[in-house]
Structure formats: structure tokens, C-alpha cells
């Protein structure tokens, strides 16, 4: 079993979390655009930020905030130590507060040069998945045949491969390259009738894709995909629900969660074999989900649960 260490991020463990930098990205983005504050809803909603990917050296990360929660208008942002919070792509400050200007930012390449997400029509004339870099700006990735929309959820470490799904809220998984365009990843058995797959991550060169897919019995499964094997379900702890959330750079280690009994457990798959990440302090604290893994696969981060304590973030080594 892996040895585990805990990084707590609540006030009760302030000294352990002393190195954590806090910011209100939503307020900074609204200030940039000159958008009014939305007093109709609580700050827990209007100031919420969803963090996407992080560069390899930790010097930049991307995410998504609301310009207007009431109108569901979002803005992708990037944070750097030098520049703080800025809109992805340097969107002009006079961009109107309209739905067509809404866009998200889901992931960033290892060196920070490529960002992916989903944009509405005003960004590049077509709603759907985008790939952005400094030289080319926003690039539409299109849709799969007969698709009406698309969403890019992750980018490879080298920035050359984008993965996501085609559809409004759910759909068919895709993998995009400059040479091959957007290609379907296929389905697990029976999944072609449901089409609710969603890739969550890909390795450094984009050769392995992981995520969540449905089978014909509506069961959520962690999956891995390669060009050689196609989409395959990953092993489970108890033949129940699983999710794959991240993957190491070489593709050998995948992390996520698997349900055992009535509870989720954080797990990792090493060369396809599943391992529970266990818990802390005996059985008092359990790891409920592994959300990310370092490039070399040595460190996983996620959430843990105890009936005695609030939910915490954790790291497992």
C-alpha cells in the first residue's frame, strides 16, 4: 500500500496550508471587463472558480469563472506569477456581456503555450471546442460527423493532442490532432446507444486517453484508450462505478476512484492493475477520490473523507 501524507486546506490546519495563495479570480475578471457585480446570488455562486490544468513547473494554471452567473456567461482565465489573473487569449476589455462571448478554459499544456476549452460563437464564429496558442489565437476544432457542438476537456503535455466530447451536456469522446482532425474514440459495449462518454485526461504525447464512459446497462466505467486497443474498461474494486481522472506522462499510471460497497475509494491503476490508495490513521479517514497525478506518477492528489472531519484535500505518495 502507498504511504500517505496529508495536506489540509481548512482553517483548522492553517499552518500546514501556510504556502497556499488565495485569489478571487471571478472578481478580477469582472473588473477587467468592467462587468457589474451580481447581487442577486450569493458570492458562493458568483465568485466560484473552476480550476483546470496546471503547467509542469506550476508557474501557470487555467480555469473558468462567471462574468454573470444570472446569465450563465463565463470567462476562461489564466493565472501566472508575473501577470496574475487574465482572460485567456487577451480578450478585449470591451467584450460585451452577452452569451456569445461565453467561454471556458479546461486545460493547459506542460509549457503553458496551448490552452483548450469550449467557446461560444463570438470567439471564432462557431460554438464548440477550441485550441489556443499565442501564434494562432483561438482555433475551432469542429465537431464529429453529425455533431452539433463539442467541448475540449484536456490537452496533451506537448500541446499537440486535444481530447473532449461531442455534444451539449454529454456525447461521444473524441481525440483531435492537427494532421488527423477530430476522430471518435468509440464506445464501451452498449455505449453507442447512450453516448455519455467524457475524456478527463491524456498523457504527455496524447497516445493514451482516460475518462468516464457508459455501458449499455448505464454503468459508469473508467476507461483507457489507445490507437492499438481502442476504448477499454479499467478494472474495478467491487464491479461497481469507477472514474479515471488523470494519467502520468508515460501513460503507465492512472488515478481516479472506484466504489466498494457503499463508498468510493481513491485508486490508481498501474499498468492496468487496480490498487486502492487506502486511508490515513487506520480506518478513521478514507481517501474517496484521486483527482490528479504528477507527471512521473509518484504523487497523487484528491479528496478524503471522515465522519469526524470536514472534507480535505490529500496527497498520496
Judge whether 28 lies within some domain. yes
Q: Is 317 a residue whose pLDDT tops 70?
A: no
Distance CA 118, CA 132 (A): 11
Host H or E run for residue 311: strand 309-316
Distance CA 299, CA 7 (A): 12
Please give the residue that has the higher pLDDT: either 191 or 114. 114
What is the CATH classification number for the domain harbouring 43? Answer: 2.120.10.30
Model pTM score: 0.89
Judge whether 282 lies within some domain. no
Annotate 62-96 with DSSP letters as a single string. EEEEEEETTTTEEEEEEEETTTEEEEGGG--TT--
Judge whether 63 lies within some domain. yes
Annotate 26-63 with DSSP letters as a single string. HHHHHHHHTPPP-TTS-HHHHT-EEEEEE-TTSSEEEE
Judge whether 100 lies within some domain. yes
Overall number of domains in the chain: 1
List pLDDT tens digits, range 11-42: 344 444 456 778 999 999 999 999 998 888 99
pLDDT, the chain, mean: 87
Judge whether 310 lies within some domain. no
Q: Which domain holds residue 140?
A: 24-251
Give the pLDDT of residue 285.
Answer: 63
Judge whether 179 lies within some domain. yes
Amino acid at each position: 500500500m502507498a504511504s500517505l501524507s496529508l495536506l489540509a486546506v481548512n482553517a483548522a490546519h492553517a499552518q500546514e496550508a501556510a504556502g497556499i495563495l488565495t485569489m478571487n479570480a471571478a472578481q478580477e475578471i469582472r473588473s477587467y471587463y468592467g462587468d457589474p457585480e451580481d447581487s442577486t446570488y450569493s458570492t458562493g455562486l458568483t465568485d466560484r472558480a473552476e480550476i483546470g490544468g496546471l503547467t509542469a513547473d506550476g508557474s501557470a494554471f487555467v480555469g473558468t469563472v462567471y462574468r454573470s452567473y444570472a446569465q450563465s456567461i463565463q470567462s476562461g482565465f489564466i493565472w501566472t506569477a508575473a501577470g496574475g489573473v487574465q482572460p485567456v487569449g487577451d480578450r478585449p476589455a470591451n467584450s460585451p456581456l452577452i452569451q456569445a462571448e461565453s467561454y471556458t478554459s479546461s486545460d493547459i499544456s506542460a509549457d503553458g503555450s496551448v490552452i483548450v476549452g469550449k467557446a461560444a460563437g463570438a470567439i471564432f464564429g462557431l460554438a464548440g471546442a477550441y485550441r489556443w496558442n499565442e501564434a494562432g489565437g483561438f482555433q475551432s476544432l469542429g465537431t464529429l460527423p453529425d455533431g452539433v457542438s463539442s467541448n475540449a476537456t484536456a490537452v496533451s503535455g506537448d500541446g499537440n493532442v486535444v481530447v473532449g466530447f461531442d455534444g451539449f451536456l454529454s456525447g461521444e469522446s473524441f481525440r483531435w490532432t492537427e494532421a488527423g482532425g477530430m476522430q471518435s474514440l468509440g464506445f464501451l459495449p452498449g455505449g453507442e446507444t447512450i453516448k455519455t462518454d467524457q475524456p478527463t485526461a491524456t498523457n504527455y504525447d496524447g497516445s493514451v486517453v482516460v475518462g468516464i464512459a457508459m455501458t449499455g446497462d448505464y454503468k459508469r466505467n473508467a476507461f483507457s484508450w489507445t490507437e492499438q486497443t481502442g476504448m477499454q474498461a479499467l478494472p474495478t474494486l467491487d464491479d461497481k462505478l469507477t472514474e479515471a481522472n488523470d494519467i502520468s506522462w508515460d501513460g503507465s499510471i492512472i488515478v481516479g476512484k472506484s466504489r466498494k460497497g457503499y463508498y468510493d475509494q481513491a485508486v490508481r491503476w498501474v499498468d492496468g492493475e487496480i490498487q486502492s490508495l487506502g486511508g490515513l490513521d487506520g480506518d478513521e479517514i478514507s481517501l474517496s477520490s484521486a483527482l490528479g497525478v504528477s507527471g512521473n506518477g509518484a504523487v497523487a492528489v484528491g479528496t478524503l473523507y471522515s465522519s469526524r472531519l470536514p472534507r480535505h484535500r490529500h496527497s498520496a505518495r
